């Protein structure tokens, strides 16, 4: 079959697919969704496991996708996750496979996921303090996240990366402690600037903890510039002198400065929501419906073409700084973070 990549008008090629497997989550991170949760996607609207697998196959075989990251919502609560990973791992050429998770339940599933073909995990952890964890997520699951991290490392789902969002006045004093924790345990920490993607629409640029502030807080570590090219990776990385990661490589810390230092010009992502909509950007206000094509019996070629058209329309940048910026209707949890 013709393998024609996902090109856009600015010459970018999308090879990294983020697949949301559910919009539901077992945490209520205050910067993401309200305490009462959201109006969840009705089951019939959600892609079945077979539909997800078909779209991932089309992405790999027809569109040149080389990396697939499963996310959500919380992907570990999707019952078919292990089977979906196994099917993706059986594709040729085999894509790199990872999961972004809050880590709850990973202690029970890490080995099965590895055996199915998962390469890596990103685990979200915003605090080392169980009481703060409760304040931030409204759930008492801190110990579960820590045991999920340990299980992922033990299963070889490495490098285990930790994603951290700092919130002013809540956990913004924890950057050094979180980095030390990551270094001591062989995890790779990445701080993510808070983005205007919360369901509550309470994001405030002036309240956001910036990359500059994070780097200032990490000054005692004497971070050094990282010579390794960043390529299309969202994180800018720094070397942490005196530390090595689990593989014996120099330890690194990353900052994903999506707001203050956008990297849209290098973006190589394409996104699929749990209900089969392609999004060409996290911040896109439009989507392209692949589920309808699937359920109407369209052949692979037609679905692949619709996906290419969706990506061709990708804008040059997310436009957060544009006075006309409009937050997308779907929150992060429903897009897939
Ligand atoms: N439930 C999984 C998890 O916790 O990793 C996957 C989905 S979650 C939406 C993915 C990542 O997005 C998490 O690291 C979370 O902290 C982050 N996140 C959620 N809302 C965000 C926001 N408004 N700005 C920046 N990051 C956000």
Bridge partners of 19, per DSSP, are 70, 272
The first and second tokens of residue 53, run together, are 């697998």
Instruction: Report how far Cα 267 is from the mean position of its chain's Cα atoms.
Output: 13
Ligand 1 centroid – CA 332 distance (Å): 7
Whether 314 has a binding-site annotation, put simply, is no
Question: Which residue among 25, 33, 124, 166 has the greatest number of ligand 1 atoms within 8 angstroms of its CB, and so is best to mutate?
Answer: 124
φ, ψ dihedrals at 190, nearest 5°: -135, 125
Ligand 1 centroid – CA 100 distance (Å): 9
- Ligand 1 site residues, Cβ closer than 6 angstroms: 25, 29, 31-32, 71-72, 74, 100-102, 124, 163, 165, 192, 194-195, 197-198, 332-333, 337
Q: How far apart (Å, rounded) are the C-alpha atoms in residues 114 and 110? A: 6
Torsion over CA: 22, 62, 287, 197 (sign): positive
Point out the ligand 1 atom lying closest to the alpha carbon of residue 333.
Answer: 9
CB atoms under 10 Å from CB of 231, counted, come to 7
Per residue in 143-192, pLDDT (tens digit) is: 999 999 999 999 999 999 999 999 999 999 999 999 999 999 999 999 99
Per residue in 263-275, pLDDT (tens digit) is: 899 999 999 999 9
**Run of H or E including 130:** helix 130-137
Q: What is the pLDDT of residue 230?
A: 77
Point out the ligand 1 atom lying closest to the alpha carbon of residue 193.
Answer: 25
Q: How far apart (Å, rounded) are the C-alpha atoms in residues 310 and 315? A: 11
Q: What is the pLDDT of residue 291?
A: 98
Q: Which of 96, 148, 93 is nearest to 117 (CA)?
A: 96
Q: How far apart (Å, rounded) are the C-alpha atoms in residues 100 and 74? A: 8
Q: What is the pLDDT of residue 69?
A: 98
Point out the ligand 1 atom lying closest to the alpha carbon of residue 196.
Answer: 23
Question: Which residue among 332, 333, 335 has the greatest number of ligand 1 atoms within 8 angstroms of its CB, and so is best to mutate?
Answer: 332
Point out the ligand 1 atom lying closest to the alpha carbon of residue 74.
Answer: 1
Query: Which residue's CA is minimally distant from atom 2 of ligand 1?
Result: 101
pLDDT < 70 stretches in the chain: 1
Whether 271 has a binding-site annotation, put simply, is yes
| Contact partners, residue 10, CB within 8 Å, separation at least 6 | 265, 314, 316
Ligand 1 centroid – CA 337 distance (Å): 5
Whether 330 has a binding-site annotation, put simply, is no
List, in sequence order, every beta strand (DSSP E) within 8-150: 13-14, 16-20, 67-71, 96-101, 120-124
Whether 313 has a binding-site annotation, put simply, is no
pTM of the model: 0.97
Q: What is the pLDDT of residue 323?
A: 79
Whether 267 has a binding-site annotation, put simply, is yes
């Amino acid at each position: 079959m013709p393998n024609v990549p996902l090109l856009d008008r600015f010459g970018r090629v999308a090879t990294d697919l983020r697949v949301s497997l559910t919009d539901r989550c077992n945490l209520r991170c205050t910067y993401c969704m309200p305490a009462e949760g959201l109006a969840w996607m009705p089951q019939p609207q959600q892609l079945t496991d077979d539909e997800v697998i078909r779209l991932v196959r089309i992405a790999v075989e027809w569109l040149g996708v080389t990396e697939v990251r499963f996310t959500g919502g919380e992907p570990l609560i999707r019952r078919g996750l292990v089977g979906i990973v196994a099917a993706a791992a059986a594709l040729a050429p085999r894509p790199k496979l990872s999961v972004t998770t809050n880590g709850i339940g990973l202690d029970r599933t890490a080995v099965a996921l590895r055996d199915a073909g998962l390469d890596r995990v990103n685990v979200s952890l915003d605090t080392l303090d169980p009481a703060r964890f409760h304040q931030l997520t409204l759930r008492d699951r801190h110990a579960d996240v820590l045991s999920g991290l340990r299980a992922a490392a033990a299963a070889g789902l490495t490098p285990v990366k930790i994603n951290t969002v700092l919130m002013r006045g809540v956990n913004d004093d924890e950057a050094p402690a979180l980095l030390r924790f990551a270094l001591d345990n062989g995890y790779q920490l990445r701080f993510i600037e808070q983005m205007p993607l919360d369901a509550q629409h309470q994001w405030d640029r002036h309240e956001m903890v910036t990359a500059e502030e994070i780097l200032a807080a990490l000054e005692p570590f004497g971070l050094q510039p990282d010579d390794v090219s960043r390529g299309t990776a969202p994180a800018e990385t720094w070397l942490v002198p005196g530390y090595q990661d689990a593989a014996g490589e120099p330890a690194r810390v990353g900052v994903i400065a999506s707001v203050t230092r956008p990297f849209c010009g290098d973006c190589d992502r394409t996104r699929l929501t749990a209900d089969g909509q392609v999004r060409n950007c996290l911040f896109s206000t439009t989507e392209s419906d692949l589920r309808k094509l699937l359920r109407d019996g369209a052949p692979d070629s037609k679905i692949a073409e619709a996906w290419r058209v969706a990506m061709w329309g990708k804008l040059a940048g997310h436009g957060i700084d544009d006075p006309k910026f409009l937050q997308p209707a779907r929150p992060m949890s429903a897009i897939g973070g």
